[in-house]
A and B are shown apart, each in its own frame.
Chain A
Amino acid sequence: MVGVVIATHGRLAEELLACAEVITGKLPRARAVSVSSNVPMDEARDALALAIREVEDGDGVLVLTDMLGGTPANLALGFLEDRVDVVTGVNLPMLLKLSTCRAAHASLSDIARLITGYGQKNITLASELLRARARGGGAESP
């Protein structure tokens, strides 16, 4: 199974994983790595390396980071020589999707692409969607 490591600024990673697991139950082969602002780079890199090793079972590891250009993503991109894909902009829907999509034995690159698209699709201007629906005068049924 493709492993999952969430790496973010501060404690966002732990909390995202905890939130996801409240909804989906325990996510197998998943680890959270917090890169706090006062941790030396080498220490953060070691923590990330350890987490990747822990969840790797031969199918590769997807590293989800919070922002392109941030330290967690910069560190994660240092592991590309291993079987690692790096996605930035992690959000809760992406983690929820990972609870189901990995069971289908999709490859690391398939899952990485799927999760990237899924995360993007789940950022919505929800109030606009609702207003558009309301303007439809109820004629539009779900």
Chain B
Amino acid sequence: MIALVRVDNRLIHGQILVGWAPHLRAEAVVVADDEAAKSPLARAAMTLCLPPGLEASIQPLARVDFRALAASRCAVLVLVRDVPDLERAREAGLDPSLCRRLNLGNVHYAPGRRQITPSVFLSEEELAQLRRLASAGFEVEARAVPLDQPLDLPEIERRFAAAGG
């Protein structure tokens, strides 16, 4: 099963290894990222640190078989780099019946983005993408680590509006 699909521009890092993977009892992390899949160094660096019992696979996003991951007996954590990749994942077959929850972990500041949480910044376009995903049946939340209080989409919208622009 797919335990969570998370947007994290750091892909596999401390919050994943120490926070999410144990919290979700994940036995596999799938990094769905074209850039990482192309870089032998990034692949090596990210797999060097895996604790026993956690496997990682790094694949170009379009090649990820979400249906197969959902059918897997073990809990899988899927990581994508940014919000547009969530939509690409949907085009590649990710569906709310396979994993309802989409988590925003690290989406860092860039021009045009407004701050939602200390680690999540969104642009108008990204917010629109999240709305489309929510109306397709996904549950969107912003949460850096498991013990944080998750923010749902209405709260994300409220903060986006409050951050002005």
Contact = CB atoms under 8 A, between A and B. Distances in A.
Interface residues of B, number: 21
List the 9 closest A-B pairs by CB distance, nearest first: A69-B49, A40-B108, A70-B14, A77-B45, A71-B13, A68-B49, A69-B17, A38-B118, A71-B10
Contacts of A68: 48-49
14 contacts: A9-B14, A37-B118, A38-B118, A39-B108, A40-B109, A68-B49, A69-B12, A69-B13, A69-B46, A70-B13, A74-B12, A74-B13, A77-B48, A80-B41
A13 B109 CA distance: 23
Given A74-B12, A77-B44, A78-B41, 6 more contacts: A37-B106, A37-B144, A39-B108, A41-B108, A67-B14, A73-B45
Nearest to A79: B41
B119 interface: yes
A115 B159 CA distance: 47
Contacts, number: 49
B59 interface: no
Nearest to B115: A38
Main secondary structure of the interface of A (DSSP, over half): loop
Interface in B7-56: 9-10, 12-14, 17, 41-42, 44-46, 48-50
A68 B44 CA distance: 12
B147 interface: no
A69 B9 CA distance: 14
